Structures are given as C-alpha cells and as structure tokens.
C-alpha cells in the first residue's frame, strides 16, 4: 500500500525537487503540493495525507503556527524541512516539541551524488514517519521529579535515541534531579542541530546539559550530548571517566552511533553503567546494549506503546539486552531506584 504525501513549501524549487523524489519511489504517492499554509489546510481536509513535509519559513502563516494548529485538530505525521542555520535549528527543536516526527535539513544540491544522498534521506524519513505514532497535542502534563542525592563519579548513565527521540529524551531528563550520575547520550541528528538541542534541554532540566567536547571529565549532575558529526564514547582515566570524540565513519549506519557509545560503556564502565534506549528507527544501539547487559549493566528500553517508532528498542529487546521495557515516567523512577541501590551497594 502506497504512502500518500503532501509537500508544503513556499519554494518552487523545493516543491519540484520533492515531487521528483516522491514520484521516483514505488511506495510513495504525491497527493499534492502547497505553497502556503492556506492551500495546505484545504489539501489536508481533502486528501488526509499519511505524511506531510513542511517548510518552517513560509509567508502569511509560518510552518510552526500551521504545525501547532494541525497537531491540535488533526494529528498527522509531519517531517519538517529546515535551514542549516542557528535560527533554523532552534525552530526545528520547537517543531519537534510541537509534534513533528522528524526533520530534514534543506539541501544545497550542487552535484548528482549529493542529490542521490538527499533522495535516500527524504524517502527514508517519509517512510519512517508513515509508521509513527502521533497524538493530539494537549496541555503540558505535570512532571514529578525523582529524588536522589548522588555526587560520586563511578556510575554512568548512557542514553540512545533516534526518530522521536528529542521529545523522549526531554521527557526523561526533566524527571531527573540535579544530584544524579553523569549522563552521556547519542541522538541521531546532523551537526549544528545538536548544539541547539543541548541548549534547549539545558534550559528545561535540573541537570546541566551540554554538547560533549573531547576528553572532558564526566561530572555528576551533567549530561553530555554527542555532537552531530562525531561519535561519542567513554574511557576510564585513573579514577575518572572521560569523553572521547571520534571522526571515524558511520557505525550501524549512523554518525554519531549509539552502538559506539554503548560499547564503550560496556568495556570501560561495566556493571556500574546504566543503559536506556528510546524511540527510533533501525537497530543502532541494540548490539551495544546487549554488550552492556552482558557486562552486568542495568538496561531499560522504552515500551512499544509509547514509542514514536518502535525500532531500536524492539531490536534491543530481541537481542536479549534489555532488563525492562517501560514508559518514560516509569523508566525515570526505576532508573533512579537502581542507581540508589547500586550506589548503596558500592559503599558497602
């Protein structure tokens, strides 16, 4: 069964490019293109598309306003088309908060090879979005923070996510207290966007969130996010743990890769590590979580019912690397409890 797609973009060039890409894929069906939100609104009513690609910067009504109204009235999987600027990255983070499933950086197409790569990216993201769970936007729920008093450096938490992960990560981190073990995390995202994501999280959480730099000492109460174009791993350095950034090629199809992070936690942190794998397409992180589990780490996966895309957690469960599959509020509680128990045991 083909996936019906509506393209909303004020750029005639982008509309033409997306039309070409969608027309060339056997599983995609372009139901229409709209130059602005007013035309898009009518087309949504008329065609009820499976997926909408939506430009952020449009005349009359901008993409964010249209998205906000759409997710309240008729929740539909939306993939944002975003410019590679700081302003564009900030707007993209807001779009993901408003309910967009994913985003695609607006291309600078100058050679055929780049077009082919962009074509692959667009079709993959649209197909993933078609299978995503989207919910009607409601008022923000009251979040209850877990309680913990931890100031040591021997325990480390690793988090991995992809499609739908920005909101899942935020939902988890806002529930955690400032006195918490160091957290290292990889979210599949291009360079530039991770900077904006870290800044946004830092303003929303009790923990200090930053984009990871090379060879940083991991400190409790801090969260270190892999930069969008580098792998993040952890090594033991004397009695401390430190970050390592690598420019190696893609691993498990991604850069940064969750497997790279989780494998390093398995090797260097072992039973003092905690792993969390959240919503995402594909299988990145599944093998690394199994490695962590085999070394005695405590591991959690987001449950199928609450994932936007149940891909990475499903693969991790299938490989036997997950102790418990839970919704995010319960992960926060049980992760905190496991850390409290481990810290107490390490002191004995």
Residues with active-site annotation: 162, 188, 284
In terms of DSSP bridges, do strands 240-246 and 231-237 run parallel, antiparallel, or are they unpaired?
antiparallel
H-helix segments, the chain = 12-23, 37-47, 63-73, 86-98, 112-130, 165-173, 193-202, 258-268, 286-294, 312-318, 328-347
In terms of DSSP bridges, do strands 51-55 and 78-82 run parallel, antiparallel, or are they unpaired?
parallel
Residues 6+ apart with CB under 8 A from 109: 17, 115, 118
Taking CA atoms, 311 is separated from 2, 99, 133, 258, 285, in Å, by: 21, 19, 12, 13, 10
H or E element in which residue 82 lies: strand 78-82
With CA atoms as reference, report the closest residue to 3 among 101, 112, 142.
Answer: 101
137 token code pair: 């936007």
Cβ count near 137 (within 10 Å): 17
Beta carbons of 135 and 73 less than 8 angstroms apart = no
Rounded distance between C-alpha atoms, residue 216 and residue 240, angstroms: 10
Quote helix, strand, coil % in the chain, to nearest 5: 40, 25, 40
In terms of DSSP bridges, do strands 273-277 and 298-302 run parallel, antiparallel, or are they unpaired?
parallel
CA max distance for the chain: 67
Rounded distance between C-alpha atoms, residue 103 and residue 55, angstroms: 10
């Amino acid at each position: 069964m083909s996936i019906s797609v509506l393209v909303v973009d004020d750029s005639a060039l982008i509309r033409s490019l997306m039309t070409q890409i969608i027309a060339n894929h056997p599983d995609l069906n372009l139901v229409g293109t709209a130059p602005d939100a007013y035309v898009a609104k009518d087309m949504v009513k008329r065609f009820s598309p499976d997926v909408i690609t939506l430009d952020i910067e449009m005349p009359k009504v901008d993409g964010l306003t249209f998205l906000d109204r759409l997710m309240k009235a008729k929740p539909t999987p939306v993939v944002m088309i975003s410019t590679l600027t700081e302003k564009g990255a900030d707007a993209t983070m807001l779009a993901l908060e408003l309910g967009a499933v994913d985003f695609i950086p607006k291309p600078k197409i100058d050679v055929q090879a780049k077009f082919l790569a962009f074509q692959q990216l667009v079709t993959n993201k649209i197909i993933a979005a078609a299978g995503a769970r989207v919910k009607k936007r409601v008022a923000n729920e009251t979040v209850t923070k877990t309680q913990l008093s931890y100031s040591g450096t021997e325990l480390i938490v690793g988090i991995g996510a992809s499609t739908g992960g920005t909101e899942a990560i935020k939902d988890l981190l806002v529930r955690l207290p400032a006195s918490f073990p160091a957290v290292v995390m990889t979210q599949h995202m291009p360079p530039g966007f991770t900077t904006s994501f870290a800044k946004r999280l830092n303003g929303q959480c009790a923990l200090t969130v930053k984009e990871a730099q090379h060879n940083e000492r991991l400190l409790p109460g801090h969260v270190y996010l892999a930069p969008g174009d580098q792998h993040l791993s952890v090594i033991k350095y004397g009695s401390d743990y430190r970050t390592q950034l690598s420019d190696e090629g893609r691993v498990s199809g991604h850069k940064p890769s969750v497997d790279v992070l989780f494998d390093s936690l398995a090797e260097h942190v072992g039973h003092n590590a905690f792993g969390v794998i959240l919503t995402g397409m594909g299988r990145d992180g599944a093998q690394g979580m199994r490695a962590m589990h085999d070394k005695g780490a405590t591991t959690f996966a987001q449950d199928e019912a609450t994932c936007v895309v149940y891909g990475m957690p499903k693969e991790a469960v299938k490989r036997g690397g997950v102790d418990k599959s839970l919704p995010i509020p319960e992960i926060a509680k049980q992760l905190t409890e496991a850390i409290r128990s481990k810290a107490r045991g390490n002191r004995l």
